[in-house]
Amino acid sequence: MTDGYQDLPPTPSALFELKEERRVVQEGYDFLDEKRLLLVGEILRQLARYEALLDDYRHDLAEARQALSDAIALHGLEGVQVRPAATLEHAEVATEHRPFLGVTLQDAELQLGAEHEATTPLYASPEAATVAERFRGLLARATTLAAVSGNLHRLMADYRRTERRARALEDVLMPELDQAIAEMDSRLEELQREEAIRVRLNV
């Protein structure tokens, strides 16, 4: 009998307890196995969303770079650098949270509010304004992307924990219980045969 159960006496009640423990462990494994499948499904959904957002981010980044290049071509690098920086003092990140099998998933949206410049520029520049608009949009896109990335990290961490627990039951505890049950069952049959022989000899 395995080390964890070798001290159990070979009795019908002990065998019943082992079988009951095996049943409970099986239920635990079935729950973890189902949880793994559900986690994989949510991971795939979040991954698809992440990839779509990443494509949008890359598209927006290309547009922002092009707008910056156009502004530099028109005003020169120094002409762009000396423009006052826009502030995000009224920007807020709006988040929504929801639980999924114990994992907190969130959606995030950057609400930029009104744009303000530190000082009034000496001359108006539609090209420079476009640069600011493009990069503000890029920042908003990155905020949503970061939230989905966080979801993926938390889901993967929980999946790995669930996988380890399921493997421990499947590869260690369940085989140990099966072996202990088989050995005790065999031992009880042997004791019953010995008892039957003693009864016949005493008749």
Domain that includes residue 152, residue range: 11-202
Classify 52 as helix, strand or coil.
Answer: helix
What backbone phi and psi angles, to 5 degrees, belong to 144?
-65, -40
- Distance in Å from the first CA to the final CA of the chain: 34
Q: What is the pLDDT of residue 128?
A: 82
- What pLDDT score was predicted for residue 119? 46
In a domain, residue 6? The reply is no
Q: Which residues pair with 92 in a beta bridge?
A: 111
Rg (alpha carbons) of the chain, rounded to whole number: 33
> Do 119 and 100 touch, CB atoms closer than 8 A?
no
Domains contained in the chain, number: 1
CATH number, domain of 73, equals: 1.10.287.3240
Per the document, the length of the chain is 203
In order along its 203 residues, the chain shows pLDDT tens digits of 555 566 678 888 899 999 999 999 999 999 999 999 999 999 999 999 999 999 999 999 999 999 999 888 888 888 777 777 777 777 889 999 999 999 999 999 998 776 544 445 545 678 888 888 898 889 999 999 999 999 999 999 999 999 999 999 999 999 999 999 999 988 888 887 877 787 777 75
Q: Compute how many other C-beta atoms are within 10 angstroms of the C-beta atom of residue 141.
A: 19
**HEC per residue, 53-98:** HHHHHHHHHHHHHHHHHHHHHHHHHHHHHCCCCEECCCCEEEEEEE
Return the structure tokens found at 60.
């927006």
Whether 2 maps to a domain, the answer reads: no
Asked if the structure places residue 5 within a domain, the reply is: no
**Whole-number pLDDT of residue 77:** 83
